[in-house]
Amino acid sequence: MDQQVAVVGAGAVGTTAAHDLAARGCDVTLYEAETVGSGASGRAAGVCYDAFAEDIDAAVADRALARFRDLDADPTFDWSFTPCPYVWLAREGDDRRAAAIREQVPRMQAHDRRVDLLDGADLAAEFPALRADVDVAAVARDAGHADPGAYTEAMAERAVAAGVTLREGTPVELRAEVDRPHVVTPDGAAAHDTVVVAAGAHTGRLLGDAGLPVPVKPYRVQAAVTEPTPLAAAAPQLYDATGGYYCRPREGGLLVGDGTEPVERDPDDWAREADDWFVADCGDHLRAAFGDGPAGEPPAVERAWAGLCTATPDGDPLLGERAPGVVVAAGWQGHGFMRAPALGERIARGVCDGEWLTPFDPSRFEGDESFEIVEGMLVEES
């Protein structure tokens, strides 16, 4: 008999896991409280890179990029991946972050990442659109960007074609019964051999209500997209560690991200619209990155929004069994979409073969830990 699996949460990770589980012969039901991609995946920045200094992180990111490229080459998958270098830098006078970047790059190279260390002159020569007041920079060559919402919708369609039953508009509760876990919907309770909880910001509450607490905290982040600008054709993906913002080309303009609030948020009660102060800051960020730009001033913001990321005590995700038959997949620290193709594959391998990534094992925590939220893109010395 096929293994009965429920996946809760139709974001990038959940839809990929549902597809990969179905491809391995599981009978999969994918539950989504709202619509496909309506949570964090639909609001993500779409920055993708493999510049990680830890071996497991580097391997997961490498596999994710490989699958992204394969899907981009597949004419039946309605989505695209755009190769684009990813640069992160520390500006003059920021000795602490400059030292951290110099320490990170050799560790990334040791894991066969195509990452180069550049001084300010080298960076200006390769990316003349960027301001040159840089102490040190690194560039990840195997990087790119994509539309997370389009990926999630396309993967959901592929999952349904593979036999997954998709139930949108279906909020659930979880009951961790002795025999098999049950998913409870307005239609009643259904038993499954395995329930994969990939519900983003709602993961902690869903599991906690089932008596299976996990240490994840939702926190609010913000992003904006500017009007079209010639800078979009000349800009790499950029993370300014000194300024604490990132940007990438998007739809002929520039996507700018910052506005992280390291405060735990209620996943059902938070502001979806960006704050005025963040929109105002976007001009300062773009001026710091590119100067005044071709028009004599930074391009204007056309639209802005907020989303939720999830943090864990140590910055690593929770991926594995929380209890027999109950799998947690959460705590991506803002890196969920860029690793979704590999994470979905890993979930399928774990459920079907019992092979999990030990450093991400949720049993390393009791579940009730107190911790401060630290955003996932900070550059610090190890």
- What pLDDT digit, counting tens, does each position of 13-31 carry? 999 999 999 999 999 999 9
- The mean pLDDT value for 302-326 works out to 96
- The mean pLDDT value for 126-133 works out to 94
- The mean pLDDT value for 210-226 works out to 97
pLDDT of residue 78: 93
The answer on pLDDT for 296 being more than 80 is: no
The answer on pLDDT for 155 being more than 60 is: yes
The answer on pLDDT for 331 being more than 70 is: yes
- Helix runs in the chain, H state only: 12-23, 55-72, 95-110, 120-126, 148-161, 203-209, 231-234, 276-290, 336-353
pLDDT of residue 293: 64
Buried b or exposed e, range 228-257, using 16+ CB within 10 angstroms: ebebbeebbbbbbbbbbbbbbbbeebbbbb
- The mean pLDDT value for 178-202 works out to 95
The answer on pLDDT for 382 being more than 60 is: no
HSE, side-chain direction, 13 A CA sphere, residue 134: 29
pLDDT tens for 35-76 read: 999 999 999 999 999 999 999 999 999 999 999 999 999 999
The C-alpha atoms of residue 180 and residue 7 are separated, in whole angstroms, by 15
- The mean pLDDT value for 254-271 works out to 93
What is the pLDDT of the chain when averaged over all its residues? 95
Domains and CATH numbers, the chain: 4-46+147-215+312-364 (3.50.50.60), 84-142+218-311 (3.30.9.10)
- The mean pLDDT value for 177-195 works out to 93
pLDDT of residue 379: 66
For 146, the enclosing helix (H) or strand (E) is strand 144-146
pLDDT of residue 1: 57
Its pTM stands at: 0.96
pLDDT tens for 35-46 read: 999 999 999 999
The answer on pLDDT for 80 being more than 60 is: yes
- The mean pLDDT value for 192-210 works out to 97
Q: What is the token pair recorded at 192?
A: 């499954």
| Rg (the chain; Cα; Å) | 21
The C-alpha atoms of residue 52 and residue 74 are separated, in whole angstroms, by 27
Percent of the chain with pLDDT over 70: 97
pLDDT of residue 376: 73
Q: What is the token pair recorded at 286?
A: 């773009």
Q: At what angle do helices 12-23 and 336-353 cross, to 10 degrees?
A: 30
**pLDDT range class, residue 295, cuts 50, 70, 90:** low
For residues 325, 313, 10 and 340, what is the CA-based torsion angle, rounded to 10 degrees? -100
- The mean pLDDT value for 351-369 works out to 96
pLDDT of residue 110: 97
pLDDT of residue 294: 65
